[in-house]
Amino acid sequence: DGHGVTLLSIQGLNFYNFNVQPELPEDNEDFTISIRTELANIDSMICELDTTSAYEYLDENGIEFVTSFSNPSVIIGSNMIQDTAEPNRWSLQTPIKIGTAGKLIGVRFVAIDNTKNQTTSAIFSIKIKQNPDLSALSISQGGIIFPELIVEVNYNGDDTLETDITAYKISNSDKLLFNSVEILLLPNRKSMCSLPGVLGSDMQKFKVVLDPDNKINELSESNNTLIDSLYINTFPVLPATGTSLNGTTNDTLRFGQYSVLIGPNSINDSSVLAVTRKTISQNSNQPQFSIENGMPGGLFESVDISIPNIPDTLLKPMRVEIFTTDTINNDVSIARWNPYLKIWIAQPTQHQQKSYITESSYYGQFTLIKSRDTEPPRLELSLDGQQFFQNSYVSRKPNISIIAEDQNGVSFDKTGLKVFLDGTIVNFTDLNIPDTLANGNYVSAQFRPELTYGDHDIEVIIKDAAGNSTVDQIIFIVSDELKLIDYGNYPNPFKDRTVFIYELTQRVDDFKIKIYTTSGRLIKILEESTIYSTGLDMNEGGYHEVLWNGLDNDGNFIANGVYFYKMIAKNKSKTVTKIGKTAKAR
């Protein structure tokens, strides 16, 4: 660390506080220039203008600079006078005007003292206000609540502008007003302007006009108009009418080989329905599924139906129809893509003479598939990480796991998974399902109900992606009395490891298994901290399997012979025990 002193001297500023009035002069508008200086003994001041060679550039750091005065023959000099009220300020003796809009002018000052010495300033700049220019760049479609014609507008200008944009729908020689809105344009940028309205169907031609009343004095009016045609894929869906072509009647929407129909009272709020055709490929997670919606060149296609203002499902199913020129195949059905499970899920499909029809409360991607999957999915129910048996005891708040597996994917959603507790369906939202999955071939969910004492049952129905289903029902007991049920150990005798099996009717505060020699010497305690297979909650009510690897407390294999074990369960002031016999034999 150190301290020091440096002597500084401050001299008068040569040229500062450059000022133009008006700040951004228009073409052919009088403006004046002034500058302040603290130079002494100034006899006269000249303002030099370069209206020919000035240009702007950015250095490597992005700082803007002006280069000018490269050609002395084009420099214009104007006399300046000293301001009587502010002696160190000099102003142009006569205002000047420039007739070119958008022109950049280089400015510098030459101060002459009473000894005829000249001091020249750095270069300043003035930009003559450019005439605004509007141009319509493109026309597209979109919207969330209602269909919109979207116009991209480019605006070059120095001021924020308000103007109008008008759109027409052109049919043959007729020009019908589509909509007209007021828009706000910020200087020197592109903007997207939306005009709500019913777009129609099939191919439609639109004409958009910027500033139709010519309120703005523009650089050019020729680029204010744009005409373009759109194949309409954006339609209104209203609570009272459902899908509609005109906003007043319920209509089937046809888009190429696809059609969609949503009936009245299917949604609570207005929304757009957007239909998009997408190229897809066969799904490697579904080896027994093949996509049948072929395109030229060996490609496959789906239709993506989007309803952006509807967060989840429709109140009533929508009707999706896929037309085909091929012979109808009864083995082919419509399938919907599940983005969470990353699989196609077959939908119940009607086969018409030239089309396939399904109904779905879910929107998304749909295509045609053929499934060779006839095997139901595998379903397993476990309790606190262990196998779930009929008439087993569980705690009042058990952790029930539902595990489903299928080589072509399981329909692990509201449509494919049903869980019933004591005959009452469990809300899908009450199931704890992972946020993300690698795929839908193996999925698990956790369910932790709060139960009353007595007998209960849980029934689970799960479908795979092809519609095959599996049902499993377990009856279990929640006991208000602590009991310990000893099922012994297996194998017995054992060679190098054995499994102790027991069941608790309630959760306990502590559970352990003590193993003794025939002489009564304690050689091993099996508890959560010492069992061979960790991660089990030995205290939880229900069925348990605890693995013992045949090692004593010192880590040595026990000798051949007979041993006794004692199961001890403690819950508050109550303790229950069970004693059994096991044998080690090589």
Q: Which tens digits make up the pLDDT trace of 21-74?
A: 999 898 899 999 999 999 989 999 999 999 999 988 888 887 888 899 999 999
Ramachandran quadrant class, 145 (left: phi over 0; alpha: psi -120 to 50; beta: rest): alpha
Whether residue 7 has pLDDT greater than 70: no
* Mean pLDDT along residues 389-402: 82
Q: Could you give the percent of the chain with pLDDT greater than 70?
A: 97
CB 382 within 8 A of CB 447: no
CB 513 within 8 A of CB 582: no
Classify residue 78 by burial, with Cβ atoms within 10 Å: 0-12, 13-18, 19+.
middle
Write a three-state SS string for 223-282.
CCEEEEEEECCEEEEECCCEECCCCCCCCCEEECCEEEECCCCCCCCCEEEEEEEEEECC
Write a three-state SS string for 309-378.
CCCCCCCCCEEEEEECCCCCCCCEEEEEEECCCCEEEECCEEECCCEEEEEECCCEEEEEEEECCCCCCE
At 153, list the tokens: 């507008």
Residue 498 or residue 295, greater confidence: 498
CB 503 within 8 A of CB 511: no
Q: Which tens digits make up the pLDDT trace of 459-492?
A: 999 999 999 999 999 888 888 888 899 999 999 9
Mean pLDDT over all residues of the chain? 91
Return the ∠ at Cα 235 (arms to 233 and 241), rounded to 5°. Answer: 150
Name the pLDDT band for 535 (thresholds 50, 70, 90): low
Q: Could you give the percent of the chain with pLDDT greater than 90?
A: 67
Whether residue 561 has pLDDT greater than 80: yes
Whether residue 102 has pLDDT greater than 90: no
Name the pLDDT band for 126 (thresholds 50, 70, 90): very high
Q: Which tens digits make up the pLDDT trace of 248-297?
A: 999 999 998 999 999 999 999 999 999 999 999 999 999 999 999 988 78
pLDDT at 569: 92
**Between β-strands 104-113 and 498-504, what pairing exists: parallel, antiparallel or unpaired?**
unpaired
> What is the rounded distance in angstroms from the CA atom of residue 32 to the CA atom of residue 22?
8
* Mean pLDDT along residues 580-586: 90
CB 135 within 8 A of CB 158: no
Q: Which tens digits make up the pLDDT trace of 175-199?
A: 999 999 999 999 889 999 999 999 9
Whether residue 11 has pLDDT greater than 80: no
Q: Which of 458, 422, 451, 472 shows the shortest CA–CA distance to 541?
A: 451
Residues in contact with 230: Cβ distance below 8 Å, sequence separation at least 6, in sequence order: 139, 140, 141, 199, 203, 204, 206
Whether residue 10 has pLDDT greater than 60: no
CA 539 from chain centre, in angstroms, equals: 43
Strand order of the β-sheet with 510-517 is: 522-526, 510-517, 561-571, 574-584
Rounded to two decimals, the pTM is 0.71
> What is the rounded distance in angstroms from the CA atom of residue 400 to the CA atom of residue 397?
9
pLDDT at 350: 96
Whether residue 2 has pLDDT greater than 80: no
Name the pLDDT band for 395 (thresholds 50, 70, 90): confident
Residue 529 or residue 197, greater confidence: 197
* Mean pLDDT along residues 136-158: 95
Q: Which of 138, 260, 139 shows the shortest CA–CA distance to 197?
A: 139
Q: What is the biggest distance separating any 2 CA atoms in the chain, rounded to whole angstroms?
A: 125
pLDDT at 8: 63
Whether residue 319 has pLDDT greater than 60: yes
- Residue with tokens 């919606």, as numbered in its chain: 293
